[in-house]
């Protein structure tokens, strides 16, 4: 049975908490963005305040075994500083019995990177000569995974999942471990907040509802676009994926990004939108460049008439003005994906402007604004607007799968 962090009695108990401490580190192993650590602190503090102790487990990066640069030891200082409680470290997540036994209430023990073991993800590592060999290796990892999970579960009295970013993965620490705590499992505040925010947009929003979907590819966003037709009144489509739509409509797109095999699908999607009464706002005028670089020559043209040799890179001011009008008339806004090549400063203007408009819609119209996905989140954060929108989602892939209507293993494991 699912429990709730606000009502659960943590006094004298050890809680094992799956967090997402997968933070970016520079070459000197310093954290360059601690957002994810900050996000998990309220959950950890709550357990400690209520008289419990926390055992923290996370992954960092994509190690293929024990790798110094992916060690969670690099982040301990920051965790201790933000938590304001003693933080200890177990350098092997499968051999922490003594440290767990010595852990006092009010303390925190961070376990070393779970992904140092292949059992966390349940996938074999290395090269295999044949499919049979790979299958056999997978069977071994899956078998060993049972012991791996059992060991982690043995450390604690209750389990909290607060890692929304990995909720779409059926890993040992995100899904399987919950079975060991049938009556003592719950979501942390990050998970609760994410689920509530997305559910609000999908199920109980104030209308008009507008979604902005950007990014590079039609193929990766088409499912979510169509799924959202059931929830939104307007859909703004920007970024690299628009050129596939424009080419399918008979436009000249020059060297712009295009997935020829998705063109028919793009046209079908526009038809579906019409049938469902959803208004689509594709970018119209765009900034094009003669090179994929910051110092390229640029000009503004219609994205139905991009000259040969030029490539669509960003939304032009007239397109942004059209979108702004739609957004300023919306009461609920969901944003995923950049509307231009955001990594190159010269073509980040459109994406930054969207961040600005969302902050304005929140402040001036009381719109509920939800931002998710790496680049969109980076844009609102860099612009200093993270506190000026209603909710910033920490999980890109997980958010997309949730919006697509999929049951996420990390959520299902707690609720079942």
397 catalytic per annotation: yes
Q: For ligand AMP, which is the closer residue by CB, 63 or 238?
A: 238
Task: Give SS3 for 67.
Answer: coil
Q: Please check whether residue 51 is in contact with residue 11, taking contact to mean a CB–CB distance below 8 angstroms.
A: yes
Binding-site string for ligand AMP from residue 140 to residue 179, where x marks contact by CB under 6 A and - marks none: ----------------------------------------
Residue 87, class by beta-carbon neighbours within 10 Å (0-12 exposed, 13-18 middle, 19+ buried)? buried
Say which of 36, 185, 221, 349 is annotated catalytic: 36
Residue nearest to ligand AMP (CB): 215
Q: Given 134, 151, 397, 406, which residue is catalytic?
A: 397
Residue with tokens 């931002």: 371
Choose which of 313, 361, 399, 414 interacts with ligand AMP (CB under 6 A): 313
Q: Could you confirm whether 217 is annotated as catalytic?
A: yes
Answer for which of 122, 188, 205, 312 binds ligand AMP (CB under 6 A) is 312
Residue count (the chain) = 416
The binding track of 193-232 with respect to ligand AMP, each residue x by CB under 6 A or -, is: ----------------------xxx--x------------
Catalytic residue among 78, 217, 360, 406: 217
Q: Please say whether the dihedral angle defined by the alpha carbons of residues 91, 94, 97 and 98, taken in this order, is positive or negative.
A: negative
Please report whether residue 254 would count as binding ligand AMP according to CB under 6 A.
Answer: no
Q: Which of 97, 111, 109 lies closest to 52 in space, CA to CA?
A: 109
Size, binding site for ligand AMP by CB under 6 A: 17
Residue whose CB is less far from ligand AMP, 188 or 240: 240
Specify the residue, 44 or 289, whose C-beta has the smaller distance to ligand AMP: 289
- Check residue 82 and report its DSSP letter: H
Nearer to ligand AMP, 188 or 214 (CB): 214
For 42, the token pair is 């309220």
Which residues of 39-83 form beta strands (DSSP E)?
53-57
What minimum distance in Å lies between the beta carbon of 397 and ligand AMP? 10
Q: How far is CA 317 from CA 97, 242, 257, 347, 409, in A?
A: 60, 16, 20, 12, 42
Kindly state the tokens that stand for 286. 């765009």
- Which of 220, 204, 108 has its CA nearest to residue 156? 108
Residue numbers annotated as active site:
36, 217, 374, 397
Applying CB under 6 A, which residues contact ligand AMP? 215-217, 220, 239-240, 257, 312-313, 337-338, 340-343, 373, 375
């Amino acid at each position: 049975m699912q429990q709730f962090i606000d009502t659960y009695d943590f006094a004298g108990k050890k809680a094992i908490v799956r967090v997402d401490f997968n933070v970016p580190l520079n070459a000197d192993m310093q954290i360059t963005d601690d957002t994810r650590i900050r996000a998990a602190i309220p959950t950890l503090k709550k357990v400690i305040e209520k008289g419990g102790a926390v055992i923290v487990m996370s992954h960092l990066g994509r190690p293929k075994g024990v790798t110094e640069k992916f060690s969670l030891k690099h982040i301990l200082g920051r965790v201790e500083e933000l938590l304001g409680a003693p933080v200890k470290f177990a350098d092997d997540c499968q051999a922490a019995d003594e440290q767990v036994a010595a852990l006092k209430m009010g303390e925190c023990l961070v376990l070393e990177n779970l992904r140092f073991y292949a059992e966390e993800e349940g996938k074999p590592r290395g090269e295999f000569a044949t499919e049979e060999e790979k299958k056999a290796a997978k069977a071994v990892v899956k078998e060993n995974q049972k012991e791996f999970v059992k060991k982690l579960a043995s450390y604690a009295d209750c389990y909290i999942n607060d890692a929304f970013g990995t909720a779409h993965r059926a890993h040992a620490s995100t899904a399987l471990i919950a079975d060991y705590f049938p009556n003592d499992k719950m979501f942390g505040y990050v998970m609760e907040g994410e689920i509530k925010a997305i559910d609000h947009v999908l199920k109980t929003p104030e209308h008009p509802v507008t979604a902005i979907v950007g990014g590079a590819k039609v193929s990766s966003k088409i499912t979510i676009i169509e799924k959202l037709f059931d929830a939104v009144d307007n859909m703004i489509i920007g970024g690299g994926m628009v050129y596939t739509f424009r080419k399918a409509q008979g436009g000249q797109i020059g060297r712009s990004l295009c997935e020829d095999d998705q063109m028919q699908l793009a046209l079908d999607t526009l038809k579906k939108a019409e049938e469902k009464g959803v208004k689509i706002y594709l970018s119209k005028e765009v900034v094009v460049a003669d090179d994929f670089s910051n110092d390229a020559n640029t000009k503004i043209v219609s994205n139905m008439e991009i000259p040969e040799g030029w490539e669509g890179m960003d939304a032009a001011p007239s397109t942004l003005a059209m979108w702004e009008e739609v957004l300023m008339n919306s009461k609920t806004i969901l944003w995923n994906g950049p509307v231009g090549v955001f990594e190159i400063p010269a073509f980040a203007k459109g994406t930054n402007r969207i961040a600005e408009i969302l902050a304005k819609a929140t402040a001036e119209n009381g719109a509920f604004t939800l931002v998710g996905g790496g680049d969109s989140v980076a844009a609102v954060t860099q612009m200093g607007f993270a506190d000026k929108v209603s909710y910033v989602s920490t999980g890109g892939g997980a958010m997309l799968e949730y919006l697509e209507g999929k049951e996420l293993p990390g959520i299902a494991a707690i609720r079942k």
